[in-house]
Amino acid sequence: MRESCRIVKETLDFVGKNIKAGMTTKEVDDLVYRYITSCGAYPSSLGYEGFPASACVSVNDVVVHGIPSDDIILVDGDIVSVDITAEKNGFNGDAARTFLIGNVSEEKRRLVKVTEECFFKAIEGLRAGTPLYDIGYAVQTYAEANGYGVVRALTGHGIGRDMHEEPAVPNFGRRGTGVRLKAGMTICIEPMINMGTWKVWQDPADGWTIRTMDGKSSAHYENTVLITEDGAEILTL
């Protein structure tokens, strides 16, 4: 898994150096496919339950699962979540980043910053024995204190031989509840934070794209995390 996670991290770094206004989201997806396969790995999203691309590329009000397209062109001021998974030697790594395109408003910049901070709040004190929903409690408390909505319809997840495994890892919850984490568990913690309402809807046009109910922007930040006896190791950093 360390190798798969390293490839995911390097792929996102590569995307970050090359993504820019004027590109289509399909061109972003092509970057992901080329980099992952050049490492001898496979983009796990490609063909997953029929998903047609190597990456989820989600612009502005799209929370997650944006399908890359030749028709969607990135413009100055956009924020773009790129969510990828790579499989090598039978194991997966998964992470997401939200990139700023050109001159992004201070309002959107703050959303992206707080979303990333939510992740790091979630891993403070995380270790074997921590109740699972302490993660969501930390994300929800920090996001809502900053005036944002926390998506409830989608969660993080376990990961290993499969891209999505138990347990589900919500971004909300009651402190002190849920199963106790064990050393050796690998989970994806992925705050999905909305500028406005926490409510979302699935676009019936493609059956994948998840959008904010109020049309305001959303940001996404994810890493694969290894639980240890005395802490948590971020495998995709």
Domain 2-234 has CATH 3.90.230.10: yes
pLDDT tens, position by position, 213-232 = 999 999 999 999 999 999 99
Domain ranges of the chain: 2-234
Mean pLDDT over the full length of the chain? 98
Q: What is the pTM of this model?
A: 0.97
What is the per-residue pLDDT for 93? Answer: 98
List, in sequence order, every residue forming a beta bridge with 225; answer none if it has no partner: 187, 234
What is the per-residue pLDDT for 198? Answer: 98
Give the residue-averaged pLDDT of 57-74. Answer: 98
What is the per-residue pLDDT for 169? Answer: 98
Contact (Cβ atoms closer than 8 angstroms) between residue 87 and residue 44: yes
CA distance 167 to 57: 25
Is the Cα torsion angle 58, 62, 64, 67 positive or negative in sign?
Answer: negative
Contact (Cβ atoms closer than 8 angstroms) between residue 194 and residue 151: yes
**Main-chain dihedrals φ then ψ at residue 111, nearest 5 degrees:** -60, -45
**What is the per-residue DSSP string for 27-38?**
HHHHHHHHHHHH
The model's confidence at residue 99, banded by pLDDT at 50, 70 and 90, is very high
pLDDT tens, position by position, 149-198 = 999 999 999 999 999 999 999 999 999 999 999 999 999 999 999 999 99
